[in-house]
Structure formats: C-alpha cells, structure tokens
Amino acid sequence: MTKIVVTGGAGFIGSHIAEELAWRDYHVIILDDLSTGKIGNIEPLLSKENVEFIQGSIVNLPLLQKLFRGVDYIFHEAAISSVPRSIEKPLISHEVNITGTLNVLMAARDNSVKKLVYASSSSIYGDTPTLPKREDMSPNPQSPYAATKLAGEYYCQVFRKVYGLPTIYLRYFNVYGPRQDPDSQYAAVIPRFITRASQGKPPIILGDGEQTRDFTFVKDVVEANILAAQSNSIGVFNVGRGEKTSINWLAGLTIKLVGNNVEPIHEEPRPGDIRHSLADISRAKEELGYNPRYGLEQALQETISGIRR
Ligand SMILES: NC(=O)c1ccc[n+]([C@@H]2O[C@H](COP(=O)([O-])OP(=O)(O)OC[C@H]3O[C@@H](n4cnc5c(N)ncnc54)[C@H](O)[C@@H]3O)[C@@H](O)[C@H]2O)c1
C-alpha cells in the first residue's frame, strides 16, 4: 500500500489533503503538533484503518527519521502560516518554516522518499505590480513569513540538485474553504467576513476594498497537490484560480449568501498589505493537468455551511 505523510495534516489545507488521500485508500500518516491544527479537523478519519495520527513536531529530526521509514510521498503543509505572527515572532517562524522544512527534506532524503510536495505561497511575489504573477518573476518577499516560504523553496531545489530528491513546490494563492479557522486572531479575510456577517455584524474591510485577490477553493488545492505528486514534473507551480476578486465584491457576496442585511465598514489598511494578487496558472494547467473547478459563489456557499456547522 502506498504510504504517505501529510505534515500539518490537522490544519486547514493539510486536513483536506489527508481526507482525500484517506478516501483513495492510501496509508496516510498525519503529523501535526496541533499548534494551530485541531483534532476536530481530522476526527472522522481517525477511525479509518488506513489513517494514523502522530502528534509531533517537524523540528524533531529523530522523530521524522523514524516516521518516514518506508514512506513513498510527503505533502509538507506544516508551517506557522500567519504573516502577522511572523512579524511579531520571526525567530519562531524561522525555526518551524525553515529549520523544520530542512529537517523534513533531510529525513525524506535519508529514507529515499519518491517525491516531496511543498506548500509554498504567493506571498513570495510581494508587491511587484506586474500581473498576473508568473513563476519566472523575481521573488520580492515583504514579510518574515514570505522569506521563510521562499527559503523552503530554495532548500527543495537544492535537495533535488545535490541529493536527487524529487521535489515540487506549489505557490498557493489565498486558499479558502471549510475548516479555515475563523476564531484565530490571524484569521484570513473569508472566515472573518463569514463569522461577522453570520453574527449580524458588519464585515470589516481594511482600506478602500478595491484591492484584489485570487481566491482559490481548498478542494482545487488538494487536486493540485495530488496531480503534483503523480506527475513527473518538478520545480515551482502557481496554484490559484486565475481570477481576481475585489474585497468589496467579496464582502457583498458574503453578505448576500449569509442572508443578513449588514453594510461593510472600512478601517485603516494593514501596513505591508499588497494591492493586487493574481496567478498565471498556465504552467500548472499544461504540465500537471490542473484545472480549477470551483467558482467563488458555489464554493463560498460550501464554506459558509462548513464554518456555521
Ligand atoms: N491558507 C492559505 O491561503 C495559504 C496560502 C499560501 C500558502 N499556505 C501554506 O499552506 C500550508 C498550510 O496552511 P494552512 O492555511 O492550512 O494553515 P494551518 O495553520 O491551518 O496549518 C498548518 C498546520 O501545521 C501545523 N504545525 C505548525 N507547526 C508545526 C510543527 N512544528 N510541527 C508539526 N506541525 C506543525 C499546525 O498545527 C497546523 O495544523 C502552510 O505551509 C502555509 O504556509 C497557505
């Protein structure tokens, strides 16, 4: 049976990857230290014979060396994924996102893993005005978080070149969906809007709301990960939907779908926030066969149902 480790598998994106792999009957090992992830995210999987959960940290190299014995594939999602937290505590983000990733790569190399799929981020493009973002553009990180994600990509590249470990890295663009934590003080915009609108409170828009993002449904991200593992491709791929949505439009749609009659309010923009973000996904389409299937309205409805449950 193909054996797969999902690091950060109790988190938002990792739990969706683990769930899909479990339903496809792979042997799935979920590794998570539960720092932001929750057992509740993977509860329905734990009764399955082909799923194991290990509470532990990617900072613990001996644990990884043991855990990766006989493993075929690794989906490396574990990270401190918050930009504001990385600004407050850059050393902790460095330790988990860079040293932790280096540990994962070393243990994957030593156990002859067939392929490692690394969760990178569109944040590495920074505020360069050129749109859409293409993989061959120069990175321009604006936060410690983005710098750690870029360092992770470089380590993946070097491990491929120096040790022959097949690695592929996916730059996710604004992922959303059920199980994204609305209670975190660092919650992303979609769960924040849904929570406020559901409580009859006005969604808070930072800035004029005309900034745009490429919102990508988590199930499309899962599909991109599985295609990336199955393909012979290596290197970097954007994973977005390839469409831009303004924050004002998103707020209006969320309010409509939630069904509460509230008006968004505007507050000061967050320093360092980029104005526009949009992925060029042609490389992933051509090489991986990636084709995002979920439009914003349908997937937002699914997200609202998931978050309200
Ligand atoms: N959500 C997005 O829009 C987005 C965008 C770009 C990239 N990413 C990347 O995708 C990945 C998953 O992000 P997410 O949104 O699901 O965040 P998340 O916080 O829900 O998931 C991260 C998981 O990693 C776990 N973790 C943290 N430190 C760990 C450690 N030392 N050892 C083991 N597990 C640890 C957490 O407990 C959590 O379950 C991250 O690598 C993130 O950088 C996310």
Say if 258 falls within a structural domain.
no
Q: How many CB atoms lie within 10 A of CB 253?
A: 16
Say if 77 falls within a structural domain.
yes
Task: Tell me the H-state helices in 111-246.
Answer: 144-163, 189-198, 218-230
Instruction: Report the DSSP beta bridge partners of residue 216.
Output: 175
**Atom 23 of ligand 1, nearest CA residue:** 8
Say if 274 falls within a structural domain.
no
| Residue with tokens 């040293």, as numbered in its chain | 99
Say if 302 falls within a structural domain.
no
Cα separations in angstroms, 232 against 167, 200, 224, 288:
10, 49, 14, 9
Calculate mean pLDDT across residues 119-142: 95
Say if 125 falls within a structural domain.
yes
Could you tell me the distance, in angstroms and rounded to a whole number, from the CA of residue 8 to the centre of ligand 1?
6
User: For 150-182, what is each residue's pLDDT tens digit?
Assistant: 999 999 999 999 999 999 999 999 999 999 998
Output the ligand 1 site: residues, CB below 6 A: 7-8, 10-14, 31-37, 57-59, 77-81, 96, 100, 119, 121, 149, 172, 174-175
Contacts of 21 (CB under 8 A, 6+ apart): 4, 6, 28, 226
Overall size of the chain counted in residues: 309
Which atom of ligand 1 is closest in space to residue 174's alpha carbon? Answer: 3
| Residue with tokens 């949505």, as numbered in its chain | 245
Say if 40 falls within a structural domain.
yes
Could you tell me the distance, in angstroms and rounded to a whole number, from the CA of residue 36 to the centre of ligand 1?
8
E-only strand ranges, 57-106:
73-76
For residue 261, name the pLDDT band (cuts at 50, 70, 90): confident
For residue 260, name the pLDDT band (cuts at 50, 70, 90): confident
> Residue 182 has what pLDDT?
85
Say if 186 falls within a structural domain.
no
Q: How far apart are CA 17 and CA 222, in angstroms?
A: 5
Could you tell me the distance, in angstroms and rounded to a whole number, from the CA of residue 222 to the centre of ligand 1?
14
Q: How far apart are CA 88 and CA 73, in angstroms?
A: 33
For residue 309, name the pLDDT band (cuts at 50, 70, 90): low
Residue 41 has pLDDT above 80, yes or no: yes
Which atom of ligand 1 is closest in space to residue 172's alpha carbon? Answer: 6
The amino acid at residue 253 is L
Cα separations in angstroms, 162 against 192, 213, 236:
43, 36, 17
Mean model confidence pLDDT for the chain:
96
For residue 258, name the pLDDT band (cuts at 50, 70, 90): very high
For ligand 1, pick from 5, 13, 155 the residue to mutate: most ligand atoms within 8 Å of CB. 13
For ligand 1, pick from 5, 17, 31, 36 the residue to mutate: most ligand atoms within 8 Å of CB. 36
Say if 44 falls within a structural domain.
yes
Could you tell me the distance, in angstroms and rounded to a whole number, from the CA of residue 66 to the centre of ligand 1?
22
For residue 274, name the pLDDT band (cuts at 50, 70, 90): confident
> Residue 307 has what pLDDT?
81
Range of the domain at 135: 3-173+216-240+280-293
Task: State how many domains the chain has.
Answer: 1
Task: Tell me the H-state helices in 214-265.
Answer: 218-230, 247-258
Active site (catalytic) residues: 145
Could you tell me the distance, in angstroms and rounded to a whole number, from the CA of residue 44 to the centre of ligand 1?
20
Contacts of 117 (CB under 8 A, 6+ apart): 73, 74, 75, 76, 167, 168, 169, 170, 225, 228, 229
Residue 143 has pLDDT above 90, yes or no: yes
User: For 49-71, what is each residue's pLDDT tens digit?
Assistant: 999 999 999 999 999 999 999 99
The amino acid at residue 10 is A
For residue 23, name the pLDDT band (cuts at 50, 70, 90): very high
Which atom of ligand 1 is closest in space to residue 122's alpha carbon? Answer: 6
- Beta carbons of 305 and 178 less than 8 angstroms apart: yes
User: For 108-119, what is each residue's pLDDT tens digit?
Assistant: 999 999 999 999
Tell me which DSSP letter residue 112 carries. Answer: T
Could you tell me the distance, in angstroms and rounded to a whole number, from the CA of residue 104 to the centre of ligand 1?
14
| Residue with tokens 């209006």, as numbered in its chain | 252
For ligand 1, pick from 68, 75, 81 the residue to mutate: most ligand atoms within 8 Å of CB. 81
Domain of 107: which CATH number?
3.40.50.720
